[in-house]
Amino acid sequence: MGYLPLRQIWQREREMKILNLFAGLGGNRKYWDEVAREKGINIEVTAVEFDPEVAKAYAKRYPNDNVIVGDAWDYAAKNYLDFDFIWASPPCQSHSRLNFCNNSRNETTRVLPDFRLYELISYLKTFCKKAFVVENVVPYYDPLIKPTAEIGRHYFWSSFALDEINTPAFRVIKHVKNADFKDFSLDEFKIKNKRQAIRNEVDYEIGKKIFERYLESR
């Protein structure tokens, strides 16, 4: 029986494959490269985004990432074993308190909450032996699966502890403006609702602190 040389083992521990599902504009991974460099780790990020124009913007923002335009639900089910760390931020609109207000007031635009969120959480909890985080808003109903942590207005389900992660710097979503997005101009992209795309971003500091916590937990 052969054994890997210690150098090869060390190199493997210094390399990490990350899956960023429902990637949007990539707010959650804004500081991942910085954190990884500080830890002496090389990260390879694969991002999956359904909207082609949002995916183009993500690719310009993070040119070294492998960006896939496709169904993140399906990609997660078929490819989760290929990654060391998975982050998923499924669409939150149907779970939000705004949707509760909409369902209460407007019969023509009522929308059921998309419970594929809990299918994904259950699937990862059952089959994924690596680290994962699923993020979504605090819903208007009692969550079907108890979250690992509540940070700001968001729930997080994860395979590692997220206690005592907080910061007063977290942005207030309702105050978000197009002008807040300063990485590069979104003018060249035909994103239907740029403000919504920006609002959908996970707070940069949350993404950073959770990624740091994951690395500490290894």
Tokens of 31: 């500081």
- Number of C-beta neighbours around residue 72 at 10 A: 22
Residue 143, pLDDT score: 95
Q: Where are the domains of the chain?
A: 6-217
Q: Judge whether 46 and 66 are in contact, CB under 8 Å.
A: yes
Residue with tokens 């699966």: 145
Question: Exposed (0-12), middle (13-18) or buried (19+): which is 30, by Cβ within 10 Å?
Answer: buried
Q: Which residues pair with 46 in a beta bridge?
A: 19, 66
Report pLDDT digits (tens) over 184-216. 789 899 999 998 898 889 999 999 999 999 999
Ramachandran area for residue 40 (φ above 0: left; ψ -120 to 50: alpha; else beta)? left
Task: Just give the CATH number of 6-217.
Answer: 3.40.50
Mean pLDDT over the full length of the chain: 86
Residue 93, pLDDT score: 81
| 134-to-120, 140, 147, 187, 195 alpha-carbon distances in Å | 8, 18, 9, 30, 23
Report pLDDT digits (tens) over 128-151. 999 999 999 999 899 999 999 999
Residue 10, pLDDT score: 46
Cβ neighbors of 61 (< 8 A, separation 6 or more) are: 25, 26, 183, 184
Count H helices and E strands in the chain, helices first.
8, 7
State phi, psi for 136 to the nearest 5 degrees. -160, 170
Task: Write the DSSP assignment of 137-166 as a string of letters.
Answer: EPPSS--SS--SEEETTEEEEESS--TT--
Residue 170, pLDDT score: 53
Report pLDDT digits (tens) over 15-32. 999 999 999 999 999 999
Between 96 and 182, the higher pLDDT residue: 96
Between 181 and 123, the higher pLDDT residue: 123
Report pLDDT digits (tens) over 67-123. 999 999 999 999 999 999 999 999 988 888 665 555 556 666 667 889 999 999 999
Residue 105, pLDDT score: 60
| 178-to-1, 50, 137, 181, 195 alpha-carbon distances in Å | 59, 21, 21, 6, 6
Cα separation of 138 and 108, whole Å? 24
